[in-house]
Amino acid sequence: MIDKDDWSARAPSLSPVTTESPSSFLGSIFKDWRHLIYLPIDKTIVATSGRGMDRIAVIGSGNWGSAAARLAASNARRLPDFQDEVRMWVHEEKLDTGEQLSVVMNNTKENPKYLPNVKLGPNVVADPNLESAVKDATMLVFIIPNEFIHGTCKQLKGKIRPNAKGISLIKGMEFTDDGPSLISKKITDLLEIDCSVLMGANIANEVAAEKFSEATIGYKDDKQTADKWVKVFGAPYFRVTSIQDLEGVELCGTLKNIVATAAGLVDGLGMGNNTKAAIMRIGLKEMIKLSKLLFPSVQDATFIESCGVADLIASCLGGRNRKVAEAFAKHGGKKSFSELEGELLKGQKLKGVVTAAEVFSFLKAKKWEESFPLFSTVHSIATGQIPPSAIVEYAERTPKEIEGGPELEELSSLLST
């Protein structure tokens, strides 16, 4: 049993090793948060004490997947709750050098294609075999393009531990005429496991460079598992909180991509920061309105978490959807989004245009297009029905009221018209 006064036992928390006395030598050294350190833990003590250690597997190896694996691997090595090794499923591909991506990743401990020049950690193992990557894992991190989640889960059916827990870092979902199909729910339904979500202002390169940022974990009922996910990803430079609003957190991560696309159009047209700020405000209001129509349980507080306004701001300033939309506007809409995606994203996927199309189809089925002028306008521009310059002309229209939506009245206290 670990003595409660043993310094190694203090390492599981996110607190630095310090002393309360201001005159203490250690206190003077470590009072700056940038000097946070963690002493190593003898995991053999934990393994023989009757406490089981969770095993983490990351399903996906793109830009954000690699950054997330780096966070998880660092905490897996440091904390007694987890086995050291973090396996990451890699969709195998051949690099320009002729080498296999997984081989290079294991040799260099870097992802040269999607997160170059960043060490992922000595305990990260790239595995091109999905079943092997998740073997014995109790904590599954899903971070692949949302269009592949169904097929991936079908492959995993019956291949994972019955006590496994999942978390989706996927910012996207499918909309049908009946409404949204949440990625977390799809994972839960297909694999029969609890699945939380993590969303936030998380531009992968900045997180990997250990620049301070935040994220929000949304969970349904299992607070204990949510707290465990906070341990998986939390770091002094990556502040993670949890909130019991699974649907709200996940919708924020999806709908903000449409607004970021609108912001990129504004940038490409050179309209300036005032216009961009106005588009962001209108977009945030439509995000809140649609979220509450779809799930009345969505909380107002969710939109001021990192998954809400912070992610919206970051995506409108520096995300991939903004980047491609800017190029689209600069080309006067003569180059398609799919062409620009191939040219600019180097294998990464664009979400905003796809989500805008699915959301518009849903709005049209409900006859709600005029109630969401910004969302509808982004789709019309992306499909070439109207020019990029229409982003302001159409988006500034007064939204049509939706009958039978009393839950929207409280929005007036959050955002003015």
pLDDT at 43: 56
Rounded Cα distance between 323 and 329, Å, is 10
Residues 6+ apart with CB under 8 A from 248: 218, 291, 295, 297, 298, 299, 302, 303, 307
Establish whether 256 is a catalytic residue: yes
pLDDT at 190: 96
Segment 354-371, tens digit of pLDDT: 999 999 999 999 999 999
Tell me if 321 is assigned to a ligand binding site.
yes
Percent of the chain with pLDDT over 90: 75
Lowest mean pLDDT among 7-11, 32-36, 139-143: 7-11
Checking if the pLDDT of 214 tops 50, the result is: yes
Tell me if 107 is assigned to a ligand binding site.
no
How many other CB atoms are found less than 10 A from the CB of residue 240? 22
DSSP label of 369: G
Kindly state the average pLDDT of the residues 223-242: 98
Checking if the pLDDT of 209 tops 90, the result is: yes
Segment 38-62, tens digit of pLDDT: 444 555 444 433 347 999 999 999 9
Which residue did the predictor score with more confidence, 183 or 19?
183
Lowest mean pLDDT among 36-50, 217-231, 255-269, 383-397: 36-50
pLDDT at 42: 52
Tell me if 123 is assigned to a ligand binding site.
no
**The pair of three-digit structure tokens given for residue 251, joined into one six-digit string:** 């919708």
pLDDT at 7: 29
Domains, the chain, in order of start with CATH, read 41-244 (3.40.50.720), 253-413 (1.10.1040.10)
Q: Tell me if residue 57 falls in helix, strand or coil.
A: strand
Segment 64-107, tens digit of pLDDT: 999 999 999 999 999 999 999 999 999 999 999 999 999 999 99
User: Which is catalytic among the residues 113, 165, 220, 256?
Assistant: 256
Rounded Cα distance between 343 and 363, Å, is 31
Helices (H), 79-148: 101-108, 130-134
pLDDT at 141: 98
Kindly state the average pLDDT of the residues 388-406: 77
Q: Tell me if residue 88 falls in helix, strand or coil.
A: strand
Tell me if 171 is assigned to a ligand binding site.
yes
* Mean pLDDT over the full length of the chain: 86
Checking if the pLDDT of 409 tops 60, the result is: no
Q: Kindly indicate the confidence band of residue 298, based on its pLDDT and cuts at 50, 70 and 90.
A: very high
Tell me if 233 is assigned to a ligand binding site.
no
Q: Kindly indicate the confidence band of residue 395, based on its pLDDT and cuts at 50, 70 and 90.
A: low
Checking if the pLDDT of 21 tops 80, the result is: no
The answer to whether 130 and 155 are in contact (CB under 8 A) is yes
Kindly state the average pLDDT of the residues 312-334: 94
Tell me if 204 is assigned to a ligand binding site.
yes
Q: What is the model's pTM?
A: 0.83
Tell me if 60 is assigned to a ligand binding site.
yes
Tell me if 148 is assigned to a ligand binding site.
yes
Q: Which long-range contacts (CB under 8 A, 24 or more apart) does 203-207 make?
A: 203/314, 203/318, 203/319, 204/63, 204/64, 204/66, 204/67, 204/115, 205/63, 205/67, 205/115, 207/67, 207/71, 207/238
Q: Do the strands 213-218 and 82-89 form a parallel or antiparallel pair, or are they unpaired? A: unpaired
Segment 166-201, tens digit of pLDDT: 999 998 888 777 778 899 999 999 999 999 999 999
Which residue did the predictor score with more confidence, 162 or 347?
162
pLDDT at 351: 87
Checking if the pLDDT of 14 tops 70, the result is: no
